[in-house]
Amino acid sequence: MGLLDSLKAKLGPAKDKVADLAQQHGGKIDHGIDKAAKLVDEKTKGKYSDKIHSGTDKAKDALDRIGHKEGGAPGDGATPPPPGDGTTPPAPGSGGPTPPPAA
């Protein structure tokens, strides 16, 4: 087992824990990001507003990726709905059940 494999094996549980926490507390983390951004913007008197806004958006996107959220509003802590709504068949290639081959 190589060094990288060993490192991945040791960090796997930590990554899962971080993802769980990001998903459970996404709203609180989003609020903290917004609060910090507002404070920094006030302290810099709006001089770097565009950069602060860009950084805030990137941080929220990273939070969403870490929490494995594929749908819903960023930071709302909601889990994405399963594919399809149960009333229409899934689109081909969307991960839905594969029909049996034609005979």
CA of 87: how far to CAs of 60, 75, 79, 80, 84, in Å? 33, 28, 20, 17, 8
* Residue burial 53-88, b: 16+ Cβ < 10 Å; e: rest: eeebeebbeebbebbebeeeeebebeeeeeeeeeee
List the domain boundaries for the chain: 7-66
CA distance 27 to 41: 21
What does the pLDDT profile of the chain (103 residues) look like in tens digits? 688 888 888 888 888 888 888 888 888 989 999 999 999 999 999 999 999 999 999 999 988 888 765 444 444 444 444 444 454 555 555 555 555 666 5
